[in-house]
Amino acid sequence: MPSSLQSPIENAVNEVNLPLIDISEFPLEFGDRLQYNPEVTKLRDAYREWGFFRHVNHGIPVDLLQKFQTVAKGLFSMPTEAKDRTTNSYPFESYFGLLFRLPMKPSASLTCPIQIQSKKSPQGYGANKETQSSVIRFGNTAIELASKIMKLILASHDLDVEKFYKSDFENCEAYLRINGYSSNGKSIGEKALLSHADRSCLTIMLGDEKEGLEIRSKEGKWLTVKPVSNTLVVNVGDSLKFMPN
């Protein structure tokens, strides 16, 4: 791995259990005083303290999660030559390899914009109908989930949900990115990928059963997030820092 994509792991020895949030019972219509609901209060406290929470009972079928993970593993197990053939001049619609420069510094990724109306497929994978179907289903379901989470965040601040969602978030773009991180034989304490901050509003992450995600506490310590089956990790990004504290 090139040294420019590496950084030392410091203080990444402690584990953290992210707060578990269940918003499955909340309707899309938000009434008065919802910000005082215990689950909404817990959500607000979680992203203020950590910037993250773990979403349980998210409504995405387990078989779809498993299928999507299988698709991801299949894509990254392809020969490098085959993956490189899907690369084009606009990397947000294709596969890009180790050296593509973004703040994330991923080892390898497939990224595509998810548009519900046009059902745009990943560049270069249109012939693989099974892969295309899984990507579209997961992407569209995640968009609906992100919309609900965003509305609850607005409600947690006692804001006019419909007004602010329509004016600031309804037409936001959503991107689906499949990342593959290679350990390259590295062990804990050795160099790894650079840290980064998500500049978007929300990032919904589906991981595998392996530990790998690390977050930094307010005290500056790096903590390993313990994986939990059939849940999603939600990161409230930097763009929402402009909201009231």
The predicted pLDDT at position 53 comes to 93
Q: What is the CA radius of gyration of the chain?
A: 18
Please answer whether residues 15 and 49 qualify as being in contact, where contact means their C-beta atoms are separated by less than 8 angstroms: no
Residue 234 has pLDDT above 90, yes or no: yes
* CA distance linking residue 228 with residue 19, whole number of Å: 11
* Percentage above 70 pLDDT, the chain: 65
Residues contacting residue 26 through CB under 8 Å, at least 6 positions apart? 34, 39, 40, 148, 152
Q: Mean pLDDT across the stretch 68-88?
A: 75
- Say how far apart CA 199 and CA 218 lie, in whole Å: 18
Phi, psi for residue 138 in degrees, rounded to 5? -65, -45
Which whole number is the average pLDDT over 21-37?
68
Cβ-proximal residues to 122 (8 Å cutoff; 6+ apart), any chain: 86, 93, 94, 110, 112, 131, 132, 135
The 10s digit of each residue's pLDDT in 101-158 is 333 333 344 444 444 333 444 444 444 677 777 778 888 888 888 888 888 888 888 8
Q: What is the pLDDT of residue 173?
A: 78
For residue 38, which amino acid is it?
Answer: P
pLDDT value of residue 41: 87
Which residue type occupies 24? S
| Beta-bridge mates of residue 54 | 20, 233
Higher-pLDDT residue of 81, 53: 53
Q: What is the mean pLDDT of residues 81-96?
A: 58
Give 35 or 13, the one with higher predicted confidence: 35
Q: What is the mean pLDDT of the chain?
A: 72
Residues 230-242 as b or e (16 or more Cβ within 10 Å = b): ebbbbbbbeebee
pLDDT at 140: 86
Q: pLDDT for 39-71, tens place per residue?
A: 888 888 998 899 999 999 888 998 998 888 888
Q: Which of 201, 98, 97 shows the shortest CA–CA distance to 149?
A: 201
**pLDDT the model gives residue 161:** 81
Give CA torsion, residues 58, 59, 60, 62, to 10 deg.
100
